Structure 1
Amino acid sequence: MDEAGIHQWNDTDYLNAYPLEYYLQQAKLNQLYVLKDNEHIVGAIVCLQEDTRWQDQQPAYYLHNFVSMIGIQGVGSIILKEVEKLAKSNRKTRLRLDCAIDNQKLNDYYESHGFYYAGKCQDGPYIGNKREKVIE
């Protein structure tokens, strides 16, 4: 992540906050989605029905723990497109997420995929930009 200029999980205590057990639980709840290339997982995302960082209760998926394998172009875009299809099929009108306020590269990435700034959020030392994509 450092080599790619991405500063998010590598600069925090992320693996202690989200250990393997967390992902196993999300899988049991059918909220963890993975993208495979043959037998290897190349990306993943957690889609939640609600998120306390957002005050209103719009029909949305709240995207968390989004990861794609560095070095394989387009994985993130594929995941976001598939999540949008899933959201439409489940009558969601929005996709919502947040990312570190000081991670300009990631903020630009989400903006290029139609996720527009929707406010700030804070969780302990983490300060993030909330971003939202309205699904048409």
Structure 2
Amino acid sequence: MVDLSDRKPSKGKLNSQWIDIRKARIEDLDEVQKLYVEAAKWIRSSQGIIQWNEDTFTMNYLEQFIREKDVFVAYLDGELVGCFSVQWKYEEIWGELFHDNAGYIHKLVVLRKYKGQGIGSYFLTWAEDYIKNEGKKWLRLDCMADNPALNQYYLSQGLVFQGRYDGRGWSANLYEREIITK
């Protein structure tokens, strides 16, 4: 895991509003849990997909997630609008396609009321810069193969389909985007 203790929060503009992205802290747990549980319920109720089980997002699970991963939270005008992590190892899903020259985006979520406002795209761009600053050349992620809207979204963001992982009772599509250095 990358040492983030000396990193300052990142502040940028999104549609003329300021969005702050910073490393998640234990004091963010309540809001982060609410965000993930709400997203899991919405995916299941609106699309009939159990992509995330809301029972997974216990305080213990999320505390471990925040302590052990590079997890980031994003605030817009003081409101938590999203969360995601960047991982440096993800061999269990990527298998033979895995390599060390990538950062792997995981558990990206945006508060539903901000859908369609460019926050997900902003997160991907921010994560790409973060990954590039760590000397990596690729942004990678996986998403539930049974979620056509999400798969289409990632394709629209310039990610390229690389393959499929078939787990026990579920499948994930694997995507990547080369990070262009200028």
TM (normalized to structure 2)? 0.66
Unpaired runs of at least 5, structure 2: 1-41
TM (normalized to structure 1)? 0.85
* 1:65–1:104 distance in 2 versus 1, CA, 3 Å: same
Deviation at 1:110, TM superposition (A): 0.3
Distance 1:103 1:96 in 2: 17
* 1:77–1:94 distance in 2 versus 1, CA, 3 Å: same
Aligned match of 1:48: 87
Distance 1:30 1:100 in 2: 21
Distance 1:6 1:82 in 2: 28
Aligned match of 1:68: 110
Is 1:114 aligned with 2:153? no
Q: Compare relative contact order (CA 8 Å, sep 6+) and give the higher one, 1 or 2.
A: 1
Alignment of 1:1-136 (within 5 A): 1-2=42-43, 8=49, 11-12=50-51, 14-51=53-90, 52-54=92-94, 55=96, 56-72=98-114, 73-136=117-180
Conserved 8 A contact 2:43-2:51: no
Other structure's SS at 1:65 match:
strand
Conserved 8 A contact 2:87-2:103: yes
Conserved 8 A contact 1:6-1:105: no
Q: Which amino acid aligns with 2:68?
A: L
Q: Which amino acid aligns with 2:138?
A: R
Unpaired runs of at least 5, structure 1: none
Q: Please identify, of 57-66 and 107-116, the stretch whose mean Cα deviation from structure 2 is larger.
A: 57-66
Distance 1:59 1:115 in 2: 16
Deviation at 1:121, TM superposition (A): 0.5
Deviation at 1:61, TM superposition (A): 1.0
* 1:95–1:7 distance in 2 versus 1, CA, 3 Å: farther
Conserved 8 A contact 2:89-2:100: no
Distance 1:122 1:75 in 2: 29
Distance 2:57 2:123 in 1: 20
Root mean square deviation, CA, Å:
2.2
The sequence identity of aligned pairs, in percent, is 26
Conserved 8 A contact 1:69-1:75: no
Q: How many residues align?
A: 134
Distance 1:91 1:12 in 2: 31
